Amino acid sequence: MRTLFVTYLILTLACTSAAGSEVLRVSGPPIVESIPLLALSQGEHPWEQDFEAQFIPWHSPDMLRAMVAGKQVDAAIVTTAAASTLRNKGINCRVALLHEAPVWIISTRQGADALESLEGTLLFPFGPGEMPELFYRAAMAGKQSKVTTRHTGGALEAVNLLLAGKGDHAMLSDPTASIAILRSKAMQNKGVPLLVKRVDMRTAWKRSFPGHHLAASCIAFFGHEADNTQKIQAFNKAYIHACQWVREHPDKAFELIQKKFPALAAQIEQGALKNLNVRTLSGETAKTDALFFLSKINELSPAAVGGTMPGNDLFEIGQ
């Protein structure tokens, strides 16, 4: 009887422990900012982490919207403008931390790294009034433009047009920008132009608006988790540690990517991502940068931020 009681007690404790283990479902696209999310989901961590992370990749905005609507994810990498739009549409959403993500204007020729120096045709992925164009127009900040703009059906089409000589520049995020350059090098014997990274939009933004970082990307929490301040702060702390681990252990990080995110691993194998440094922004300065970015987009297109500017309650980034 005593043996049965002890066995029951052990099983009860085991079940209680498993039930009390909090699972956080996190999602991200095949970009460098997703790598620390993968690190959070590995079995063992060299840092303290009081939650279990489950990583779910997303490959299109529509896929992400469906997962958020279906309550299949608790947190995800989104644009800051998308977080504002979701909040304005009544979805419980809060920004945990912000990224200064790499966005480039790649060109068919070398030149000055300033927006006003560009000449010819500038290609945008997606249509008129979408974020790439609004982002460019905001960063120009009244400067005289020498380019003709053209919209495409997506990043891949923009790259193909550049390689076909039907454009001079394109605005692309990494890793797409880096992959485009590698493709141009591989196809030089076919007479395609050798693409180069011409303008770093993070630098261009600081030149246009001194003192402000480009806070265009973030990790947002949804649903009931968006109200869990303690969980958000614990996540922020763990994510920063994961970023450091990725920087210090690139080989182990790559092994993890191969195992859990083959779509991203394929890009890194091609040499598209040599720098695994993830720039995070947090605290009051980051909140100010994000609201400033949203205000500039709102001036051009209120619909892009959901109709109205969000308040401070969109953010929980005090870590």
Q: Where are the domains of the chain?
A: 24-101+214-314, 103-208
The reply to whether 103-208 shares the fold of 24-101+214-314 is yes
Confidence check: pLDDT of 142 > 90: no
What sign results for the dihedral spanned by CA atoms 262, 268, 272, 277? positive
What fold does the segment set 103-208 form as a domain?
D-Maltodextrin-Binding Protein; domain 2 (3.40.190)
Tell me the one-letter amino acid at 40.
Answer: L
* Mean of pLDDT values over 130-141: 89
- The set of residues, in sequence order, having a beta carbon less than 8 Å from that of 38 and lying 6+ positions away, is 55, 253, 256, 257, 260, 261
Q: How far apart are CA 1 and CA 5, in angstroms?
A: 6
Q: How far apart are CA 317 and CA 308, in angstroms?
A: 21
Confidence of residue 12 (pLDDT cuts 50, 70, 90): very low
What fold does the segment set 24-101+214-314 form as a domain?
D-Maltodextrin-Binding Protein; domain 2 (3.40.190)
Q: How far apart are CA 14 and CA 19, in angstroms?
A: 9
Confidence check: pLDDT of 36 > 90: yes
Yes or no: say if 182 and 58 are a contact pair by the CB < 8 Å rule: no
Note the pLDDT of residue 154: 83
Confidence of residue 273 (pLDDT cuts 50, 70, 90): low
pLDDT tens figures, 56-93: 998 888 888 899 989 999 999 999 999 999 999 999 99
Residues forming a β-bridge with 121: 148
Confidence of residue 14 (pLDDT cuts 50, 70, 90): very low
Question: What rounded mean pLDDT belongs to the chain?
Answer: 87
**Packing angle of the helix pair 250-260, 229-248 (nearest 10 deg):** 120
Tokens, residue 275? 């720098």
Rg of the chain (C-alpha set): 22
Q: Which residue has the tokens 């498993």?
A: 18
The alpha carbon of residue 166 and the mean position of all alpha carbons in its chain are separated, in whole angstroms, by 29
Confidence check: pLDDT of 9 > 50: no
Among 101-105, 128-132, 220-224, the least confident range: 128-132
281, with CB counted inside 10 A (0-12, 13-18, 19+), is buried
